[in-house]
Every structure is written in structure tokens, then in C-alpha cells.
Amino acid sequence: MAHAASVGSTMHLAVGGNPEAMRNVVSIRRTAFAESNAPLPHGERAKQIMAAHPEVRTLFKPDAWSALWTVLLVALQVAIAITLAVLDAPWWAILVVAYVIGAFANHALFVLIHDYSHNVVFRTARANRLGAIFANVAIVFPAAIGFRNYHLMHHKYLGIPGLDGDVPTSKEARWVGNSWWRKTVWLSMFWAVQALLRPTTVKAMRTIDGWVLFNAAAMAAAMAPILWLFGWWPVAYLFSSTVFSLGVHPVGARWIQEHYVFREDQETYSYYGPLNRLSFNMGYHNEHHDFPHVPWSRLPAIRAAAPEFYDHLYHHRSWTKLLFHVLFSPQFGLHNRIVRPMPERMKDVVAA
């Protein structure tokens, strides 16, 4: 791998992981992204796992139980929002409940939207889109369809600026730098970064289509009766839950865990801590990228079936510890990402 220029090269143990996987862990204060021409490991590793453990093929089927979890979580969040309004709870109490309960619930709904995006809840794309839109209700702003569109591009073009909306922009990374307060502002506003900034970087994707408009109309229709009957505070609770679930919160660290570099030459990272139980196993991210058509409920079974492919990889065990590392370590910045060059076949598409 050809790495970009960086400043400082002191090696030290980073956050979480098992001792074997941590031997080659480095955290370097970078001033540019690390560049790579190496092929993505996920497709090849998946082939090797299926050859060594053909039983994993039995995991490739939808899990419709996610639809029930979707209904329960949306109902829970709407019920909490309305109850707080009926009880005339003060603004600070609404924020506390949103941080302590709502963030976990809305993060779980984001994970379910993720599964709908991969068509692993229902058998048809249309049904999965509708399920994702229903899960979107408690999140307030229309995110389900846009996430689906950009996330599937993320899998196909992982680490390619201009095609993978998960890659920070150069200006974004330079502004954040390694400043603790700028990293805090960035993570606090990550909902806006994901919803407003990153889509502008992916020129090959239509930002607006019929499903996106339907998603927006459905959110407006869902919020209208709540606003009419109970005022703004229920919506404020739901929106605050969303902001916390994407921001300065233990589950907010999940968005950092997945692809920011904590060991040289490793691009994707899993989390094997207790919060997976509240997050539909979203921490199993290497397993997910290897087998994106396996639903959340069966991701641990992949690692259990093929531990020799995963146990040596660096992984995290605490999102909370990771959150503090991200915010306060001068070694961590948004340049801690691996990027790949634009494929020749896509250059004209992106330039159009």
C-alpha cells in the first residue's frame, strides 16, 4: 500500500481489540488520507469463508422479525414523545430522556433501515423501501431512501471519494484537524454532515427521485398530527434522539468504528461489545461487508463459523472508550481513512 504523507509516526496501542490483533496497531497523526490500490478484502474473504465453511450459505435469507422490531421501536419512541408533552416535561428533561433512551432507540432504527436497504427483511425491494420509510418516522427528517441509495454505493465503491459518501471531504478533514472542540462540533453535527454535505460529493447518484419525495411526504404526514395535537415538544424529543444517536454518544462512536484506520492496512473494523445487544449487532461490520445479504440476527453466526478469518483482525470492544479517544486523542483526525482512486469507467459519470 502506498500511504499519503503524514506527520508523526509514534506507534502506540489504540482503542480496544484483542492483544494479538493489537500488535501492529498504530495511530498516526495524518495530514492526508492514506492511498491504496490494493483490492478490497471483503469479496475474497467471503469466497474463502464459503469454501472453508459452506454452511454459512444457510444464513443468506431475510429475517422478517425485523419488521416487528420496527413497529415496536417506532411505537415506543412516539409514545415517549407524546408522554413527555402530556406531562409538560421541562426542556432539560426531554433532552435527558432523549440522550439516555431515545438515542439508543433511534440508533436501533437506523440499523433496521440499514437492513431494509440490503433487502434482508422482506423479499422484494418495494416492501423493504416501505419498511424503511416506516422505521424513519421516529427519526423525523427523511433519511431512509437517501441512506439506501448512498449506502449501496458505499459497498460497491468503498473508500473512493466522489462515489463513497462515507468518505470525508478534504476540506472537512482539514477543518476538523485534531482539535478536540472541532471534532466535538463535527460529531455533534454529524446528522447534517451525512444529510446535507456528503450527498453533494457523490455526483454519480441522483439526490432526488420518486422514492425520496415519497419518503419526505411520509415524514411530513407522520409529524403533522403529532404537531397538531401535542405541539413541537414531541418532535423536539424525536429529533434530539436522532441527533444524539449520530453524535456525541456511545452509539455515535459506531459511525467512527467502521472505517477509520486503527491499524495500518486494515480498512474495516468490527465492534464486539455489549451494546451490540441494543444495536442489532451493527458492530459486526467486517462480517457485514463480507456478507451484506446476511441480516443482523445472523451476523454473529458468521464469526462463530469462521473465527480464523476474524479473530486476528483489529476490533473494538468499547464504543464509549472509542468516543473519548476520537474526541481527545491528538493522533486521531478525519484523515485516518484509506482512499482509493476513481475507476476509469466511472470518471466520465462523475464528471457529467
Residues 205-224: pLDDT tens digits?
888 899 999 999 999 999 99
Q: Kindly report, residue by residue over 31-48, the tens digit of the pLDDT.
A: 789 999 988 999 999 999
What is the structure's pLDDT at 195? Answer: 86
Q: Is residue 172 within 8 Å of residue 183, measured between CB atoms? A: no
What mean pLDDT do residues 254-273 have?
95
Cβ 236 vs Cβ 226: under 8 Å: no
Number of domains in the chain: 1
Q: Which residue has the cell 470492544?
A: 317
Whether pTM > 0.75 for this model: the answer is: yes
User: What is the percent of the chain where pLDDT is above 90?
Assistant: 82
pLDDT at 75 over 50: yes
* Predicted confidence (pLDDT) at residue 21 exceeds the cutoff of 60: no
- Is 9's pLDDT higher than 50? no
Listed residue (110, 50, 17, 39) closest to 294, CA to CA: 50
Model pLDDT, residue 28 = 60
**What's the confidence (pLDDT) of residue 206?**
81
- 6 inside domain: no
pLDDT digits (tens, 9 = 90+) for 155-183: 999 999 999 999 999 999 999 999 999 99
Residue 21 lies in a domain: no
Asked whether the predicted pLDDT for residue 256 surpasses 50, the reply is yes
Alpha-carbon distances, residue 4 vs 34, 35, 154, 170, 313 (angstroms):
5, 6, 22, 13, 23
The confidence score (pLDDT) of residue 34 equals 92
Please give the pLDDT value at position 122.
Answer: 97
**10 occurs within a structural domain:** no
Q: Mean pLDDT in the chain?
A: 91
The whole-number pLDDT of residue 284 equals 98
pLDDT tens for residues 221-241? 999 999 999 999 999 999 999
Neighbours of 43 (CB within 10 A): 11
On the question of pLDDT at 1 being above 60, the answer is no
pLDDT at 27 over 90: no
Mean pLDDT, residues 269-295: 98
Question: Is there a domain that residue 173 lies in?
Answer: yes
Query: What is the per-residue pLDDT for 254?
Result: 96
The model's pLDDT over 185-212, given as tens digits with 9 standing for 90+, comes to 999 999 999 888 888 889 888 888 999 9
Cα separations in angstroms, 234 against 100, 139, 226: 16, 12, 7
- The answer to whether position 107 is within a domain reads yes
Q: What is the pLDDT of residue 352?
A: 61
Per the domain annotation, does 238 fall within a domain? yes
Q: Which residue segment(s) compose the domain that 81 sits in?
A: 34-351
Is 151 within the bounds of a domain?
yes
| 16: CB partners within 8 A, 6+ apart | 271, 273, 315, 316, 317, 318, 321, 322
Alpha-carbon distances, residue 43 vs 2, 32, 288, 320 (angstroms): 21, 27, 11, 31
Task: Please say if the pLDDT value at position 26 is more than 60.
Answer: no
Q: Is residue 27 included in any domain, yes or no?
A: no
